[in-house]
Amino acid sequence: MRTIGHFIDGNRVAGTSGRTKDIFNPNTGEVQAKVTMATPTELDSAVASAAKAQLLWAQENPQRRSRIMFAYKQLVEANMDDLAEMLSSEHGKILADSRGDVMRGIDVIEFACGVPHGQKGEHTYGAGPEIDVYSLRKPLGVVAGITPFNFPAMIPMWMFGMAISTGNACILKPSEKDPSVPMRLAELFVEAGGPVGLLQCINGDKEIVDAICDHPTIKAVSFVGSSDIAQYVYARATANGKRAQCMGGAKNHGIIMPDANMEQAAKDILGAAYGSAGERCMALPVVIPVGEGTAERFLEALLPKIEAMTVGTSTDPDADYGPVVTEAHKKSIEADIDKAVAEGATLIKDGRGYILQGYEGGFFVGPTLLDHVTPDMETYHEEIFGPVLQIVRAKNFEEALRLPSEHQYGNGVAIFTQNGRAAREFADRVEVGMVGINVPIPVPVAYHSFGGWKRSAFGDANQYGMEGLRFYTKVKTVTQRWPEGETDDSAFIIPRF
């Protein structure tokens, strides 16, 4: 059986720990490979190699770094289909979603190609008598990225794209559930002309996460995952003097105003709630219709669309979504559905026990719809992370605004309306980091930045965009004066006009 090790100093290495975890094929439920857990000693080796490569990389002019990033962008694009197939085979998302995963990562790499502009700094001529002041944005050194299973292409590129383009080296620790794509992305960077050792890929579990947070050479940690782990990583990394940006979970809400285009809203929410089997931190698992009439009209538009959905394998071109990532996660989702029903929610569409003929061992969960969910239910407060949509009915605009604002998570929210005044007021007042207006998944484009509020994010810096550039650099300010001195060399005499 195939075993995946690590990518250290430009080569794939087997790993020495002897500890492995299974990588499943979510379509069949079978173990298709094993991944080796790294040791702190192997991390030390990777960090030493990265630090050596970073010293030379930081001295390269920004144009050359940009050219290598552009070559890398082209190479990832050329390998799009292979990467998507690899991603789907381990994650389970359909190929169209896997291509989108890769493409959104490429968007950030493309933005990173323009880093010469972003790293220019500031300059003041004549800040005092013959005194000039200028600032530089310098790389931190060696940084680390710890990424989740649900976007094994996009989120690594969010992190190492900005880190490397600004002159750093990066240690990437991907999810052990689907590590093949991050490993291949690291290889492609070397193939694109990137310096050997600048991008390392270490597979591991909590032991290696702790080692990253504690390592004295690693200057910053970027993390995406559950909120509890995000808070833990943030606390441990910052306690060791590191910068940290740690993105956590979400429970994104979609507000349906009475004047919304109901057919369009139902179509948008269908994809946002069930796409990629709901395994997205920017999924939309809660809908809040404003008014009983709005709720009934929304259900009338949504239910036929749910009934028409196709759950299939990740390679089925007709499937709307595929299996979830592991059997354990499938059981967790179904347990949450059990709990919601026990709490009093109305089960309109039940996805438990879903069996796909010919793939009886696969980790499939059918589309689930729960109505009359209330804010006091535990399943409303917690992230289910599966193809489950909950409907919470609100009496008016103020109640609909209050629900996402008071929720423990504050990642994303959307409002569906044709009233510009209502949309503007909602966007201004809602206590959530990313807002969509008639946009169900408001993930910002690569030249803005991604980040939530409350328990959805720990730290002050967002991912990618100019926020990412600032996170991976530190400011050095120079104040200079060149007083006139005595010299016999006329070539250095500056004439006064």
**Which residues are CB-neighbours of 54 under 8 A, at least 6 positions away?**
139, 141, 142, 167, 168, 169, 198
Is the residue at 449 inside a domain?
no
- Tell whether 399 and 284 lie within a shared domain: yes
What per-residue string of b and e applies to 204-214 under the rule 16 or more CB within 10 Å gives b? beeebbebbbe
Evaluate whether residue 90 is within a structural domain: yes
* Contact (Cβ atoms closer than 8 angstroms) between residue 416 and residue 410: no
Cα separations in angstroms, 48 against 41, 125, 137: 11, 40, 23
157-193 pLDDT, tens per residue?
999 999 999 999 999 999 999 999 999 999 999 999 9
Tell whether 316 and 199 lie within a shared domain: no
Q: Residue 391's domain spans which residues?
A: 253-437
Identify residue 429 by its one-letter amino acid code. R
The answer to whether residues 221 and 342 belong to one domain is: no
Burial of 401 per CB tally in 10 Å (0-12, 13-18, 19+): buried
Contact 427, 416 (CB under 8 A): no
pLDDT tens per residue, range 243-287: 999 999 999 999 999 999 999 999 999 999 999 999 999 999 999
CB atoms within 10 A of CB 30: 11
Q: Residue 486: inside a domain, yes or no?
A: no
Q: Are residues 292 and 231 in the same domain?
A: no
Nearest to 172, CA basis, from 213, 143, 210, 214: 143
pLDDT of residue 494: 56
Which CATH number fits the domain that encloses residue 317? 3.40.309.10
SS3 per-residue string spanning 217-262 = CEEEEEEECCHHHHHHHHHHHHHCCCEEEEECCCCCEEEECCCCCH
What CA dihedral angle connects 440, 445, 446 and 447, to 10 degrees?
A: -140
pLDDT of residue 487: 59
Mean pLDDT for the stretch of residues 56-64: 94
- What 3 state SS string does the chain have? CEEECEEECCEEECCCCCCEEEEEECCCCEEEEEEECCCHHHHHHHHHHHHHHHHHHHHCCHHHHHHHHHHHHHHHHHCHHHHHHHHHHHHCCCHHHHHHHHHHHHHHHHHHCCHHHHCCCCEEEEEECCEEEEEEEEECCEEEEECCCCCCCHHHHHHHHHHHHCCCEEEEECCCCCCHHHHHHHHHHHHCCCCCCCEEECCCCHHHHHHHHHCCCEEEEEEECCHHHHHHHHHHHHHCCCEEEEECCCCCEEEECCCCCHHHHHHHHHHHHHHHHHCCCCCCCEEEEECHHHHHHHHHHHHHHHHCCCECCCCCCCCCECCCCCHHHHHHHHHHHHHHHHHCCEEEECCCCCCCCCCCCCCCCCCEEEECCCCCCHHHHCCCCCCEEEECCECCHHHHHHHHHHCCEECEEEEECCCHHHHHHHHHHCCCCEEEECCCCCCCCCCCCECCEECCEECCCCECHHHHHHHCEEEEEEEEECCCCCCCCHHHCCCCC
Domain co-membership, 49 together with 101? yes
Give the number of domains in the chain.
2
Which residue in this structure is represented by tokens 């500031």? 122
In a domain, 272, yes or no: yes
- pLDDT, tens digit, for every residue of 185-209? 999 999 999 999 999 999 999 999 9
Do 93 and 158 belong together in one domain?
A: yes
- The one-letter amino acid code at 59 reads Q
What's the pLDDT tens digit per position in 218-246? 999 999 999 999 999 999 999 999 999 99
**Does 450 fall in a domain?**
no
Q: Does the residue 447 lie in any domain?
A: no
pLDDT at residue 266 in the model = 97
pTM of the model: 0.94
Question: What is the per-residue pLDDT across 389-429, written as a single tens digit (0 to 9) for each?
Answer: 999 999 999 999 999 999 999 999 999 999 999 999 999 99
Do 284 and 387 touch, CB atoms closer than 8 A? Answer: no
Kindly state the percentage of the chain with pLDDT values over 90: 95
Least confident of 124-128, 240-244, 266-270, 308-312: 124-128
For residues 244 and 281, membership in a common domain is answered with no
pLDDT band at 1 (very low <50, low <70, confident <90, very high): confident
Q: Is the pLDDT of residue 91 over 90?
A: yes
Query: Domain holding 178: CATH number?
Result: 3.40.605.10
Residues 298 and 237 in one domain: no
When the pLDDT of each residue in the chain is averaged and rounded to a whole number, the result is 95
Inside any domain, residue 240: yes
Task: Determine the residue type at 74.
Answer: Q
Whether pLDDT at 336 is above 90: yes
Distance CA 316, CA 352 (A): 21
For residues 124 and 162, state if they share a domain: yes
Side-chain-side CA neighbours of 323 within 13 Å: the count stands at: 33
- Kindly state whether residues 233 and 325 are assigned to the same domain: no
Going by pLDDT thresholds of 50, 70 and 90, the confidence category of residue 120 is: confident
Does the CA dihedral 158-324-298-381 come out positive or negative?
negative
- Residues assigned a catalytic role: 281
118 closest CA partner among 467, 411, 400, 373: 467
Regarding whether 384 and 280 lie in a shared domain, the answer is yes
In a domain, 125, yes or no: yes
Q: Do 148 and 259 share a domain, yes or no?
A: no
